[in-house]
Structure 1
């Protein structure tokens, strides 16, 4: 790595670390003021620019579709004679694995049930409200998510593996900025990517730890206090930080394998015992409804307050995660053509998410009807208990409940490990092998930020983290729009 890259990496590191320190300090010293400020920022962005979040993701969708179907789809993410690093089966497996995150585990039952009880249009508790709820969940976790990730992944893969530029978000702007990507503009882009990634992961860490704490309370009666949640976060932080620092690739692969097999096992189990016919009917109807209304629901703002709380929030959250998920799918796709990359990275994980949501959501609605509203009551009382209450209405609860805790831990551990590595890479000038010291630093920072905020403000303080993530996602969304133009400009110079 050149001295220029090292200097850039150090400046990005210092500024990013400083921002994190200031944010944590204000959250501890002035928690109520920080929460009020965060809420004001969130309200301003979603009220005045909510339309832009939806429109931007729709533009990403058009851009990715055009690139995949054009002559540029034949271009490789690598040199012309470069072969894929992984077999097709291995590649598919890793892309499938990328579709299973902590958000899927947390919201797969809680969200459809929430929309069923408080739909944006239909009457609550009606069959129409149920169908709308499932279509909305498909919209929130489906193709749009992976379109966002594919834009970043395409940029990182193309400029890193084909053009030989550092693995930094700023490298995607070389066709526009030239060598200025190494200056203040490039550094600002990378700092925003770091900030968005850090707080996006911290939000998920808080949600995951909260669900684990609630699950432990529900299963074994141990009270889920903020202190207990902080201890869980600390343990999870130690696990993924040690794995990143020590380079225990086999250990992390084992964690990934456990996550995949547990996820498949839960899907099969819930499908078999949660009402197969009902689930299949729900999946078929929802998929057709989703496809038929794809464009309309992509841009729907018929209920502004509801749209701000759900689709707009999700778009912002996924944009905050785009940097490091994009790096993951780019990393495993080296040697693939752009067309292969786009079609596989968008439709394979989306398809898996549709199956997951149909099984979990369909079973929840079926069991809710059979139990006279038990799942609804659980979601109203504590949204984090939705998964455990659903499992309680299925056989073998004494086994599946602890396994659900393990699924949540493994789902987060893989994502946090990847995020720690990407944060280290972004703050070391794009070094593909960042120092263990730097990896350890970012692992500890992610955990410490979440713990301190929860200890001061309780689990409700996760809202502050979510707001910070959305705030960081707004400028990064604008960066991604320009990124699309930059990618297209670079592709026009290719001889295809």
Structure 2
């Protein structure tokens, strides 16, 4: 593999070895000393959220500002690739993969439960009131809207620009070439890539843990199979085998098949719930909530009025999205070659977030509508066990015997899709940026992802959600600094690229204007 200066880059296993050791130590410690690990997890959560909650809020605000600046600036027309490169995928294929690399499991898990939980315990309004319902929907929009996709867009922009336009390796460290120079090939660059691997492992473990938890709850809700930490661990182990085999089969075969299944199942459920969940109420709710979301966006971004609530929700979400940024960024960059900077940023921030807002409006709106009709059936189920929200909603709609099974299939598809993407990216990060990593590497990281998630579940027992939250927050903390410096590095590179283009332009114009004159002189002679 070569960089833009044609300097050979030696294959180095440092990132792979150190990352694998970190994962192995965590798994072994969780198995041998689960109580001690649980104590450490609780201590980390308390320390970071108490002292650095503000840091996550300010950082995400800066990422949003960076996206706006890069989009509206004159450098937005710079292509992520050579000037004559064309996009590899159609717009529909591109959008499907953008969403597929993002928040599948989380949306299915939280789209009913989060609005209901905020309705029952809102940060500002009185619980159980119309004001609490409006606040709950607005906050859910806020957590799943433009902010997370701005984070992902920044994570992928540096990768796509430096790999496709500058010929650098497909690594997070490559985005720091303008400020670090050739040091990106040394210890500093390796440290950046190790932090990216660390964040990815634990950020994705959170998603896989939530997905397995919901599958176990669904099996209990539908078939009466008792849910437990051991059952969740078994589910993770089984699906780990499935997604590892899918990942090993290759990007286009396994991953595309899962992505297609997930997209069409998702659309099918959205249409079904929209029709039978009260379409007029959903549309009214979406219109009002979207307006409120836009109106309160800046204030909510910096709001710290209820620290306890923020620790459990907004700060957790922001840390979770930052932990996801290395792998989602790698994935969206991988499929965006040939797009301009402006086209890429608009698509990555607006299209998937718009899909997410429509999803939440349908699921959350239907949940509130059906809850009112059934005298509180949905809120009663969520209050007892928040993981049952989706199944409690489907139970009140037609064809439950079919939709309940399909919902499990959808969760599994989302589970496999997220794990597929993360495993592929982990293999790239630890293989020197190889965009077609070996099957052995992919298989190894597939097994590692499952093992880390199982370790988190077994170490935390009944406090699984808190353990998963803490894993994301702790992993995202150092990587947040990486992303902040990445914004500056991208800005510097784009500015230099744009200025170089301006300097070349007059020279081309001079040649064009003088050519006819030279021809006339020659003809006269």
TM-score by length of 2: 0.92
> Does residue 474 of structure 2 align to residue 471 of structure 1?
yes
Cα deviation, residue 252, structure 1: 3.1
Match in the other structure for 1:417 = 420
Match in the other structure for 1:407 = 410
Match in the other structure for 1:263 = 266
Q: Deviations over 1:450-486 (max 9, x none)?
A: 2234345435345324312211101111110000000
> Does residue 140 of structure 2 align to residue 143 of structure 1?
no
Residue range with higher mean Cα deviation, 293-302 or 221-230: 221-230
> Does residue 214 of structure 2 align to residue 190 of structure 1?
no
Cα deviation, residue 317, structure 1: 0.3
Query: How far, CA to CA, are the matches of 2:82 and 2:192 in structure 1?
Result: 27
Cα deviation, residue 128, structure 1: 0.5
Contact residue 97 and residue 259 of structure 2 kept, 8 A: no
> Does residue 207 of structure 2 align to residue 213 of structure 1?
no
Query: How far, CA to CA, are the matches of 2:443 and 2:216 in structure 1?
Result: 25
Match in the other structure for 2:379 = 376
CA separation of 1:381 and 1:5: change in aligned 2, threshold 3 A = farther
Contact residue 159 and residue 172 of structure 2 kept, 8 A: yes
Of structures 1 and 2, the larger Rg is shown by 2
Match in the other structure for 1:293 = 296
Cα deviation, residue 86, structure 1: 1.3
Q: Deviations over 1:141-178 (max 9, x none)?
A: 00001000000110110011011100110001011111
Secondary structure of the residue aligned to 2:337 is: coil
C-alpha RMSD of matched pairs (Å): 1.5
Q: Deviations over 1:240-265 (max 9, x none)?
A: 10111122733432222111111001
| 1:99-248 superposed matches below 5 A | 99-247=102-250
Query: How far, CA to CA, are the matches of 1:134 and 1:236 in structure 2?
Result: 32
Match in the other structure for 2:368 = 365
Residue range with higher mean Cα deviation, 241-250 or 390-399: 241-250
CA separation of 1:107 and 1:374: change in aligned 2, threshold 3 A = same
Q: Paired residue for 1:395, among 394, 398, 402?
A: 398
> Does residue 16 of structure 2 align to residue 38 of structure 1?
no
Query: How far, CA to CA, are the matches of 2:454 and 2:67 in structure 1?
Result: 38
Match in the other structure for 2:509 = none
Cα deviation, residue 89, structure 1: 3.0
Query: How far, CA to CA, are the matches of 1:219 and 1:58 in structure 2?
Result: 42
Query: How far, CA to CA, are the matches of 2:418 and 2:322 in structure 1?
Result: 15
Residue range with higher mean Cα deviation, 250-259 or 60-69: 250-259
Contact residue 5 and residue 428 of structure 1 kept, 8 A: no
Contact residue 38 and residue 464 of structure 1 kept, 8 A: yes
Q: Paired residue for 1:317, among 313, 320, 325?
A: 320
Match in the other structure for 2:506 = none
Q: Paired residue for 1:72, among 69, 72, 75?
A: 75
Match in the other structure for 2:490 = 487
Match in the other structure for 1:442 = 445
Q: Deviations over 1:377-398 (max 9, x none)?
A: 1111111111001100000000
Query: How far, CA to CA, are the matches of 1:456 and 1:51 in structure 2?
Result: 29
> Does residue 63 of structure 2 align to residue 60 of structure 1?
yes
In structure 2, list runs of 5 or more residues that go unmatched: 502-525
Secondary structure of the residue aligned to 1:395 is: coil
Query: How far, CA to CA, are the matches of 1:469 and 1:390 in structure 2?
Result: 29
Match in the other structure for 2:507 = none
Secondary structure of the residue aligned to 2:496 is: coil
CA separation of 1:331 and 1:459: change in aligned 2, threshold 3 A = farther
Match in the other structure for 1:342 = 345
Q: Deviations over 1:332-372 (max 9, x none)?
A: 11100000000011000011011000000000001111111
Contact residue 99 and residue 350 of structure 1 kept, 8 A: no
Contact residue 210 and residue 459 of structure 1 kept, 8 A: no
Secondary structure of the residue aligned to 1:428 is: coil
Contact residue 100 and residue 417 of structure 2 kept, 8 A: no
Match in the other structure for 1:272 = 275
